[in-house]
Amino acid sequence: MAAVMVARQGRELQRYSDNTGGRMVVGCIPYRVRGDGGGVEVLVISSQKKSAAAGDVVMFPKGGWELDESMDEAARREALEEAGVLGEIGATLGRWCYRSRRYDATYEGFVFPLRVTDELDRWPEMAARRRSWVSPQQAMDRCPHWWMREALQLFADRFTQSTPLSLL
């Protein structure tokens, strides 16, 4: 897969939920298994909208699910654009409806695990975001979005009950 170095812009192809009327978004929890047997790490990114200078506000790659792509294509695209990683998508962790803080709308979001296979040195939003590998608990402690924390908890529960390859 060739990496595209420009993030998609605009809402022309955006999907909207029949259930909520708001945007449909897809995200992922990028992860890797530590080679030393020390468990799993997840890749978190800083928000573009909130200052994360102190390293306290983190989130996972997510964005609009567009008409010309499948859910897993959207999740992989967001991981590339926002976090600069490529990987393999696993089975969905679930569906969440959440209220947008910015717009007066309820979004419908889906989250997938993404086993990172390649971490790029350059990516479309590298000037606007920082990324860091942390433990799932550190991510939960620093993520302000309840639905992302719930998805992360489901990921952590699934991971401890299975081998990493069965997440795919």
Is the residue at 149 inside a domain? yes
- The whole-number pLDDT of residue 160 equals 74
Is the residue at 156 inside a domain? yes
- The whole-number pLDDT of residue 158 equals 87
Is the residue at 150 inside a domain? yes
Is residue 104 very low, low, confident or very high in pLDDT (cuts 50, 70, 90)? confident
Q: Assign residue 49 the CATH number of its domain.
A: 3.90.79.10
Each residue's pLDDT tens digit, 2-38: 455 555 566 688 999 999 899 999 999 999 998 777 7
Q: Round the average pLDDT of the chain to a whole number and report it.
A: 86
DSSP string, 83-98: I-EEEEE-S--EEEEE
- Say what the pTM is: 0.85
Q: How far is CA 143 from CA 6, 49, 54, 94, 102, in A?
A: 26, 14, 13, 18, 17
Check whether 75 has a pLDDT greater than 50.
yes
Is the residue at 16 inside a domain? no
Is residue 54 very low, low, confident or very high in pLDDT (cuts 50, 70, 90)? very low
Is the residue at 17 inside a domain? no
Residue that wins the pLDDT comparison between 36 and 144: 144
Residue that wins the pLDDT comparison between 110 and 47: 110
Q: How many domains does the chain have?
A: 1
Is the residue at 10 inside a domain? no
Host domain of residue 52: 24-162
